[in-house]
């Protein structure tokens, strides 16, 4: 789903909203050195060098555990849930009316420096002024998510960068695990009561989705996103969340042709009804058209799932903490349970 389009989403789009996050949660360093992927020391020790092997296959290291962290908004929101503070964010953070963007999760956006709030926006001067020790973002296709191409090299030259996979070979459970490993390496206490309970809730919610899919077989789910001119139908093959839902038994509509990156098929509104479905998961990101706005589109209104009122939000860019993903799975289970075959 990489590549945002300026007004909405291009290549499954990402609309940027530069958010910031200031966290007041106290960090509890782990008593033992934490081990990352492959048993590598991820540097959770109280002192000494910090290292982490990220999902681009890079061994990232600093002289000591990073303190001045800047992160993509959604990734920062996940770190926040684990009690890891960041100083600045980039990505969808604040809506036009000043409220937190959906991708900001539970963060208090008034307490962080927002370096960019829309795609291709990143204030390099403000970033440098934060004296960053580490930059954290996601990766969908091997690139650093939301770093502008024009200033990417300058940004990466100011501090080491870590990327967590959320597309291609990743699945939601793996992305969650990797984000948790990163948080632990940065000082999060993964044995904290809230974290342990959130993980148990996530696992229970995954079981609910599996049960719902099994109890209501044959429900075809279309994952869509609407803009003024186009309707995008996503494939489950290249997004960590959809691949995970598929492994739980959810049956998705798979578009016949996808964009160059393999994330979605772009349809004119005249052809938006190309794929019949029983349930529509609709992109919930700021800047995408929501059900009320889509009423004027005749082909949308004519879709069997829409006529039946079987529409549920898709959190297109999940906050990869167990707390946030548990809620996401619980909502999906309810939608599957109540869906009727209409296509």
Q: Measure the CA–CA gap between 213 and 161, rounded to whole angstroms.
A: 39
pLDDT tens, the chain, 343 aa long: 654 433 334 433 432 322 322 322 332 333 333 333 333 444 444 568 999 999 999 999 999 999 999 999 999 999 999 999 999 999 999 999 999 999 999 999 999 999 999 999 999 999 999 999 999 999 999 999 999 999 999 999 999 999 999 998 899 999 999 999 999 999 999 999 999 999 999 999 999 999 999 999 999 999 999 999 999 999 999 999 999 999 999 999 999 999 988 999 999 999 999 999 999 999 999 999 999 999 999 999 999 999 999 999 999 999 999 999 999 999 999 999 999 999 9
Q: What is the pTM of this model?
A: 0.86
Structure tokens at 212: 């719902």
Helices and strands in the chain: count of H runs, count of E runs: 10, 13
Q: Measure the CA–CA gap between 314 and 224, rounded to whole angstroms.
A: 8
Which distant-in-sequence residues (6+ apart) come within 8 Å of 331 by Cβ? Answer: 312, 313
Which distant-in-sequence residues (6+ apart) come within 8 Å of 57 by Cβ? Answer: none
SS3 19: coil
250 contacts 213 by C-beta, under 8 angstroms? yes
Q: Measure the CA–CA gap between 275 and 256, rounded to whole angstroms.
A: 10
Q: What value does the CA radius of gyration of the chain take, rounded to a whole number of Å?
A: 20
């Amino acid at each position: 789903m990489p590549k945002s389009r300026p007004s909405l989403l291009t290549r499954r789009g990402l609309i940027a909203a530069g958010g910031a996050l200031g966290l007041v949660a106290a960090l509890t360093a782990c008593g033992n050195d934490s081990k990352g992927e492959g048993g590598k020391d991820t540097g959770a020790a109280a002192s000494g060098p910090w290292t982490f092997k990220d999902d681009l296959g890079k061994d990232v290291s600093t002289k000591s555990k990073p303190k001045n962290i800047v992160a993509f908004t959604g990734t920062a929101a996940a770190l926040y849930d684990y009690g890891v503070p960041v100083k600045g964010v980039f990505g969808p953070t604040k809506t036009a009316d000043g409220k937190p963007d959906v991708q900001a999760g539970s963060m208090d956006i008034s307490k962080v420096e927002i370096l960019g709030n829309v795609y291709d926006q990143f204030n390099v001067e403000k970033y440098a002024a934060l004296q960053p020790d580490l930059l954290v973002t996601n990766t969908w296709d091997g690139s650093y998510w939301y770093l502008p191409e024009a200033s990417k090299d300058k940004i990466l030259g100011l501090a080491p960068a870590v990327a967590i996979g959320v597309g291609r070979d990743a699945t939601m459970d793996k992305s969650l695990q990797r984000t948790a490993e990163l948080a632990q390496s940065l000082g999060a206490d993964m044995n904290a009561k809230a974290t342990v309970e959130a993980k148990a809730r996530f696992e229970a919610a995954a079981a609910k989705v599996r049960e719902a899919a099994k109890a209501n077989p044959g429900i075809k789910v279309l994952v869509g996103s609407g803009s003024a001119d186009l309707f995008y139908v996503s494939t489950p093959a290249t997004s960590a969340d959809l691949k995970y839902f598929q492994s739980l038994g959810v049956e998705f509509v798979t578009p016949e042709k996808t964009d160059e990156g393999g994330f979605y098929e772009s349809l004119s509104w005249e052809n938006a009804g190309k794929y019949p479905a029983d349930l529509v998961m609709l992109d919930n990101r700021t800047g995408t058209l929501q059900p009320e706005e889509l009423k004027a589109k005749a082909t949308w209104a004519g879709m069997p799932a829409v006529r039946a009122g079987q529409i549920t939000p898709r959190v297109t860019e999940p906050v990869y903490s167990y707390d946030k993903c548990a809620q996401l799975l619980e909502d999906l289970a309810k939608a599957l349970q109540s869906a009727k075959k209409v296509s």
